[in-house]
Amino acid sequence: MSLPTLTGVGRLTADPELRFTQAGKAVASISLAFNSRRLNKQTNQWEDGDVFYVRGSVWERLAENATESLAKGMEVIVTGELRTESWEKDGQKYERPALHIRSIAPNLAYAVANVSKDAASQQNAQSGQQRPPQNQQHPQGQQQYRQGPPPQDDPWNTGPTNNEPPF
């Protein structure tokens, strides 16, 4: 039986926390809150309904990208599998829901994202290599150009001198 999949819009209750396993794999913990906020048409006020809190985890390059891109309070769109984490402490057994996040992104209804293609991580993912995180920031409106030849499987590559999209 497969695990239940959750796709929804939630809000980060804390900044993502990045750490590394002993094997050197990146993992980030992401705390999320999903609520059923509604507009009361009689009072014209927003009312909070039930809230579902869940701690999510992301791995490898997604963990690094999420840590660099997301912050507490951001509204995100997330997809992942729900699980139950179990542990024992002081003779007591505990359980809580957990989310193994497959994809996460800011909700562009409330934010502006500056997205850049990371060709090096795509090439490393295909060959199974890992790459250290980059902490590059690009000023607003500044175009970012990749150095070197484009990947061979890049459908947007129309030649070495043509920077225009093929439409």
- How do the domains of the chain map onto residue ranges? 5-116
Torsion of CA 159, 162, 165, 167, to 10 degrees: -90
Confidence of residue 93 (pLDDT cuts 50, 70, 90): very high
Confidence of residue 46 (pLDDT cuts 50, 70, 90): confident
Q: How far apart are CA 64 and CA 27, in angstroms?
A: 8
The pLDDT score that the predictor gives to residue 80 is 94
pTM confidence score: 0.63
pLDDT, one tens digit per residue, over 21-40 is 999 999 999 999 998 888 88
Confidence of residue 140 (pLDDT cuts 50, 70, 90): very low
> Residue 135 is encoded by which pair of tokens?
């902490």
Taking a C-beta distance cutoff of 8 angstroms, is the pair 29, 17 a contact?
Answer: yes
Task: Give 116's Cβ-side CA count (13 Å radius).
Answer: 19
CATH for 5-116, options being 2.40.50.140, 3.40.50.720, 1.20.1050.10, 2.170.140.10: 2.40.50.140
Residue 47 has pLDDT above 80, yes or no: yes
**The residue to which tokens 């490393």 are assigned:** 124
